[in-house]
Amino acid sequence: MPVVLGDTDRDADRFRFTLADDVAVVETSTKLDQYLENHPDEDLVVVGPDVTMAVACEVAETYRLRRPHLGVVLMRRRMEVSTMSEALRAGVREVVLADDVEALVGACKRSMAVSEQLRNVEMGDGSARRGKIILVFSSKGGCGKTTVATNLAAALSTGGEGSSVCLLDFDLETGDVAIALQLDPTRTISDALGMQGGLDERAMASLVVPYKAHMDALLAPTRPSDAEFVSATLAGEILTVAADMYDYVVVDAPPAFTDVVLKCFDMADVYVLLTTLDMPALKNLKVTVDTLDNLGFPRSKWQVVLNRGGSRVGLTASDVERTIGVPISIEIPSSVEVPARLNEGITVVEANPRHVVGKAFLELADRLRKATSLTKQSATRAAEPAKRSFFKRG
C-alpha cells in the first residue's frame, strides 16, 4: 500500500480512487516520517503536485540512504527539464504529470518492481560483494561482438547455481543488444545522465531491462547524440554499481578505444578479445594487443576468442596465434544457427544448448568463471605490477 504526501482532502480522495482504497495520505513530511517509522515494509511514497520541490527533494534525499528500498514518485502540474533533473539528482525514481492517471499507475508499478528487486538482491547476499566484469572487445566492426556478448551473458546466467548477470551495451551510438534480444528500450543509459555522482543500486535497478531469469540488460541510448554525454566517469559508476549487484557484468563495447572503453579496460577482470578469419580483423587484433601492451594492461586478463571459426577462407587459427603471439582460448564455430536465432531475438545458448555453437559458448563461460576465480586468488596473494593507466598518464 503506497503512502501519499499531499496537501488537501481532495487529493486524498483522488489518490484513493486512482491507487487503492486503503492508500495512506499524510499532509506533512513530519507525519510522513512517523508513518514510515511505523511501517518498515512500505516501499513507495507518492509526492503530490502541490508539495514544493524543496520538500519533495528533501524526502527523496533523506530516504535514499536511510531506506534504499523506498521509492519516491513525484507528481508535477508541468513537466520541465530542470524539475526532472533536480528530482533525479535527489533520488526520485520517476516524475509524472498530475493529470496523467495512467502514467502515475505505471510509475508506481515500476517503482514497486524496483523495490522488490533490491530486496531480493539484499536477501540473496547481505554482505558487500563485487561481481566480475567481462569486457567483449574488437577494434573492428562486424566480428560478432553483440552475438558473443549476448550468448556469453546467457551462458553465465544458466551455469552454476544461477549466477546473476547484467549485460551492458556500451556501444553507445550503434548498440544492437536491444534488437538482438528484442527488448523494448523504454529505459537506456540515457536515463543515467542526470544521475552521475549519485548512482546507486536503486537507480541502477530502475535503469536495467529484464531479459530472463538471472539476466538483465542496460541498453544503449536510442538517440546516438546522447553518446557524447556519457563520460568515462559515469561509465565507471555504472560498472561499480552493477558489479555490486550482479555476479557477472558483461560489457558489449564499441570497436574503438574511446574514453569509456578504456575505463572498461581499467576496471574489467577479463578481456574477451574477438577476431575472425579475415585479414582486416587479424590486423585490427594485432593493433589491439599492441595497444594493450603499450598501456600496460596485463596479459593474464586476455582471452582471445576466434568467432566463426572453421570457415574455409585461407586462414587458420594457427595463423592468428602466430601473428599476435597469443594463444586462442576458444573457437566459436560458424553456423547458420546463429543468424537464425538472432532473427528470433533469442540466444543460441537458450534455444539449442546442445548445438555445437551453444556448447562453445557454455565452454567459454566455464573458462571465464575459472579465469576470474584465478584472478581473484592471485590478487589476494600479491598485487599486480603498476600499469600505465590511460586516465593517469603523466
pLDDT digits (tens, 9 = 90+) for 230-270: 999 899 999 999 999 999 999 999 999 999 999 999 999 99
Give the pairing of strands 3-5 and 44-47.
parallel
pLDDT > 70: percent of the chain: 85
Cα 75 versus chain centre, distance: 27
At 379, is the pLDDT very low, low, confident or very high (cuts 50, 70, 90)? very low
pLDDT > 90: percent of the chain: 41
Taking every pair of Cα atoms in the chain, the longest distance, rounded to a whole number of angstroms, is: 79
* Whether residue 122 has pLDDT greater than 80: no
**Grid cell listed for 239:** 560498472
**What would the pLDDT profile of 154-213 be if each residue is shown by its tens digit?**
999 986 556 899 999 999 999 999 999 999 999 999 999 888 878 888 889 999 999 998
Q: What local confidence, expressed as pLDDT, does residue 308 receive?
A: 82
Give 220 or 162, the one with higher predicted confidence: 220
Quote the crossing angle between the two packed helices 279-295 and 317-324, to the nearest 10°: 30
SS3 content of the chain, % helix, strand, coil (to 5): 50, 15, 35
pLDDT mean over 102-125: 75
Domains by residue range for the chain, with CATH: 3-124 (3.40.50.2300), 132-392 (3.40.50.300)
pLDDT mean over 322-328: 85
Task: Check if the beta carbon of residue 241 is closer than 8 Å to that of residue 201.
Answer: yes
Of 393, 130, 391, nearest in space to 261 by CA: 391
Question: 3-class DSSP state for residue 9?
Answer: helix
Q: How crowded is the C-beta side of 332, counted as CA atoms within 13 Å?
A: 30
Task: Check if the beta carbon of residue 118 is closer than 8 Å to that of residue 68.
Answer: yes
**What would the pLDDT profile of 132-155 be if each residue is shown by its tens digit?**
999 999 988 888 999 999 999 999
User: What is the rounded average pLDDT for all residues in the chain?
Assistant: 84
At 110, is the pLDDT very low, low, confident or very high (cuts 50, 70, 90)? confident
Question: 3-class DSSP state for residue 379?
Answer: helix
Q: How crowded is the C-beta side of 10, counted as CA atoms within 13 Å?
A: 2
Q: How crowded is the C-beta side of 54, counted as CA atoms within 13 Å?
A: 0
> Integer distance in angstroms from the first to the last C-alpha of the chain?
56
Q: Where are the alpha helices (DSSP H) in 246-355?
A: 259-267, 279-295, 317-324, 337-344, 348-351
* Whether residue 126 has pLDDT greater than 80: no
Of 140, 136, 138, nearest in space to 280 by CA: 140
Cα–Cα distance for residue pair 10/17, rounded to 1 Å: 11
Give 323 or 361, the one with higher predicted confidence: 361
At 7, is the pLDDT very low, low, confident or very high (cuts 50, 70, 90)? low
Q: What local confidence, expressed as pLDDT, does residue 323 receive?
A: 82
At 378, is the pLDDT very low, low, confident or very high (cuts 50, 70, 90)? very low
Task: Check if the beta carbon of residue 268 is closer than 8 Å to that of residue 251.
Answer: yes
Give 104 or 64, the one with higher predicted confidence: 104
Distances (CA, A) of 326 to 237, 248, 318, 320, 365: 32, 25, 10, 8, 20
Neighbour order of strands in the sheet with 209-212: 209-212, 215-218, 165-169, 248-252, 132-137, 270-275, 302-309, 328-333
Q: What single string gives the DSSP state of each residue in 37-70?
A: HH-TT--EEEE-TTS-HHHHHHHHHHHHHH-TT-
Q: What local confidence, expressed as pLDDT, does residue 240 receive?
A: 93
Q: What local confidence, expressed as pLDDT, does residue 365 receive?
A: 93
Distances (CA, A) of 179 to 182, 259, 288: 5, 25, 27
Q: What local confidence, expressed as pLDDT, does residue 393 receive?
A: 37
